[in-house]
Amino acid sequence: PETLLGGELGLAYAPPASVFADRASSSLALRATVYENHLSDAVANVTLDPATRERHNLDSTRVRGLELGGRFSPATLPSLRLDFDYLLSDARVRSAGASAGPAAAALDGRRLAQVPRHTLAVGATWQATPALALDLTTRWTSAQFEDDLNTLRLAPASRTDLAVSYALTPRLR
């Protein structure tokens, strides 16, 4: 079984309404979190030769990073909410171990497969009427690797989502 030992430290900031005295209904919230996780016996696809990959347990991996986020609603348009989130993730093999096969030593220090280093999401929500809401979010991820040897690079990618919701009743949307 995989075993995780980790920790995080976070700060959240939301100034009192008096900061926006001239814009009474504006709201702002910011947050930041740093974290570090050590995962023992993580399951990963390990390259045995150019044509073969198998699932093996890696002795030790480490994931550390930073999360930043915020939300803002302007007083001039209180039905609008703007959001942003950023994630920096440094996910690496610390020790592949003998169970990962003969190429295990080549994995030490490499980035974990399919984990982008940077992720950014920005969005806006507009409450058009008490019943109708529109939500637009774009998420971008930096390049990542498809394989454990960090040779098959996946290009950065982005995705945009649009959601429209309508409240049929107070409990059904």
1-52 tens-digit pLDDT: 889 999 999 999 987 755 555 545 578 999 999 999 999 998 888 888 888 8
Looking at residue 99, its pLDDT comes to: 63
pLDDT in tens, 115-140: 999 999 999 999 999 999 999 999 99
Region 52-81: mean pLDDT is 91
**Strand intervals (E) in 14-128:** 27-49, 52-73, 80-95, 118-127
Q: What pLDDT does 51 receive? A: 84
pTM: predicted TM-score of the whole model, two decimal places: 0.84
* Residue 103: per-residue pLDDT: 63
Q: Are 63 and 40 in contact (CB under 8 A)?
A: no
Higher pLDDT, 118 or 97: 118
